[in-house]
A = this chain, B = another copy of it.
Amino acid sequence: MTTDAYLADCRARLAFDLLSHTWNAVLIWSLREGPRRPGELRERIGGISPKVLTETLRRLEFNGLVERHAYAEAPPRVEYELTALGRTLLGPIDAFGAWAFEHGDEVMAAQARNGG
Protein backbone atom coordinates (compact mmCIF):
# COMPACT_ATOMS: atom_id res chain seq x y z
CA MET A 1 0.00 0.00 0.00
CA THR A 2 1.26 3.50 -0.75
CA THR A 3 1.83 6.14 1.89
CA ASP A 4 -0.90 8.27 0.40
CA ALA A 5 -3.47 5.50 0.53
CA TYR A 6 -2.41 4.77 4.08
CA LEU A 7 -2.78 8.34 5.23
CA ALA A 8 -5.98 9.02 3.37
CA ASP A 9 -7.75 5.87 4.54
CA CYS A 10 -10.37 6.72 7.11
CA ARG A 11 -9.79 3.45 8.96
CA ALA A 12 -6.24 4.53 9.76
CA ARG A 13 -7.54 7.85 11.01
CA LEU A 14 -10.06 5.94 13.09
CA ALA A 15 -7.34 3.94 14.82
CA PHE A 16 -5.41 7.06 15.72
CA ASP A 17 -8.58 8.79 16.87
CA LEU A 18 -9.30 5.86 19.19
CA LEU A 19 -5.87 6.35 20.68
CA SER A 20 -6.34 10.08 20.85
CA HIS A 21 -8.20 9.52 24.11
CA THR A 22 -5.31 8.56 26.39
CA TRP A 23 -7.64 6.76 28.77
CA ASN A 24 -8.99 4.43 26.07
CA ALA A 25 -5.68 2.58 25.78
CA VAL A 26 -5.10 2.54 29.54
CA LEU A 27 -8.59 1.14 30.18
CA ILE A 28 -8.31 -1.53 27.50
CA TRP A 29 -4.98 -2.58 28.96
CA SER A 30 -6.36 -2.75 32.50
CA LEU A 31 -9.12 -5.13 31.31
CA ARG A 32 -6.73 -7.54 29.59
CA GLU A 33 -6.82 -10.17 32.35
CA GLY A 34 -10.61 -10.43 32.47
CA PRO A 35 -13.82 -8.67 33.59
CA ARG A 36 -13.49 -5.97 36.22
CA ARG A 37 -15.88 -3.89 38.31
CA PRO A 38 -15.64 -0.09 38.06
CA GLY A 39 -14.21 0.11 41.60
CA GLU A 40 -11.44 -2.34 40.73
CA LEU A 41 -10.61 -0.34 37.62
CA ARG A 42 -10.33 2.87 39.62
CA GLU A 43 -7.95 1.14 42.04
CA ARG A 44 -5.79 -0.27 39.27
CA ILE A 45 -5.56 2.99 37.34
CA GLY A 46 -4.25 5.82 39.46
CA GLY A 47 -5.58 9.30 38.76
CA ILE A 48 -8.83 8.58 36.93
CA SER A 49 -11.99 10.20 38.33
CA PRO A 50 -15.26 8.21 38.51
CA LYS A 51 -16.75 10.58 35.92
CA VAL A 52 -13.91 10.12 33.42
CA LEU A 53 -13.91 6.36 34.03
CA THR A 54 -17.64 6.19 33.18
CA GLU A 55 -17.22 8.35 30.08
CA THR A 56 -14.32 6.22 28.88
CA LEU A 57 -16.20 2.95 29.42
CA ARG A 58 -19.19 4.33 27.48
CA ARG A 59 -16.95 5.42 24.62
CA LEU A 60 -15.35 1.97 24.46
CA GLU A 61 -18.78 0.31 24.54
CA PHE A 62 -19.96 2.59 21.73
CA ASN A 63 -16.99 1.52 19.63
CA GLY A 64 -17.66 -2.18 20.26
CA LEU A 65 -14.47 -2.71 22.30
CA VAL A 66 -15.99 -3.29 25.75
CA GLU A 67 -19.16 -4.99 27.02
CA ARG A 68 -21.09 -4.16 30.17
CA HIS A 69 -22.57 -7.01 32.24
CA ALA A 70 -25.13 -6.25 34.96
CA TYR A 71 -25.90 -9.06 37.43
CA ALA A 72 -29.17 -8.98 39.42
CA GLU A 73 -27.57 -9.80 42.76
CA ALA A 74 -27.89 -8.11 46.13
CA PRO A 75 -26.13 -5.71 45.97
CA PRO A 76 -26.32 -5.47 42.16
CA ARG A 77 -23.01 -6.09 40.44
CA VAL A 78 -21.71 -4.48 37.24
CA GLU A 79 -18.63 -5.65 35.36
CA TYR A 80 -16.91 -4.58 32.17
CA GLU A 81 -15.15 -6.95 29.81
CA LEU A 82 -13.22 -6.65 26.56
CA THR A 83 -15.04 -7.90 23.48
CA ALA A 84 -13.22 -10.08 20.93
CA LEU A 85 -12.67 -6.89 18.92
CA GLY A 86 -11.33 -5.08 21.99
CA ARG A 87 -8.82 -7.88 22.59
CA THR A 88 -7.36 -7.37 19.12
CA LEU A 89 -6.10 -3.97 20.32
CA LEU A 90 -3.95 -5.46 23.10
CA GLY A 91 -1.08 -6.25 20.73
CA PRO A 92 -0.72 -2.75 19.26
CA ILE A 93 -1.15 -1.17 22.71
CA ASP A 94 1.56 -3.43 24.10
CA ALA A 95 3.87 -2.34 21.25
CA PHE A 96 3.48 1.25 22.47
CA GLY A 97 3.94 0.32 26.09
CA ALA A 98 7.17 -1.52 25.26
CA TRP A 99 8.32 1.47 23.24
CA ALA A 100 7.66 3.76 26.21
CA PHE A 101 9.71 1.58 28.53
CA GLU A 102 12.60 1.52 26.08
CA HIS A 103 12.55 5.14 24.85
CA GLY A 104 10.52 7.20 27.33
CA ASP A 105 13.67 8.50 29.04
CA GLU A 106 14.99 9.81 25.73
CA VAL A 107 11.77 11.75 25.09
CA MET A 108 11.90 13.27 28.57
CA ALA A 109 15.58 14.19 28.05
CA ALA A 110 14.68 15.93 24.77
CA GLN A 111 11.89 17.86 26.50
CA ALA A 112 14.34 18.99 29.21
CA ARG A 113 16.90 20.06 26.56
CA ASN A 114 14.18 22.05 24.81
CA GLY A 115 13.20 23.85 27.99
CA GLY A 116 10.16 21.71 28.82
Contacts and interface: CB of A to CB of B under 8 A. Distances in A.
Interface string A85-116: 10011011001111111111111111101101
> What is the size category of the interface that chain A forms with chain B?
35 or more
Contact of A99 (B46, B89, B102): B89
A7 interface: yes
A3 B85 contact: no
Contact of A7 (B9, B16, B29, B95): B29
A103 B91 contact: no
- Chain A interface mostly helix, strand, loop or mixed? helix
A89 to B, nearest CB: 7
Contacts of A110: 62-65, 85
B16 A96 contact: yes
16 contacts: A3-B32, A7-B46, A14-B104, A14-B107, A16-B22, A16-B96, A16-B100, A18-B107, A19-B25, A64-B109, A85-B103, A91-B95, A91-B99, A92-B92, A92-B96, A92-B98
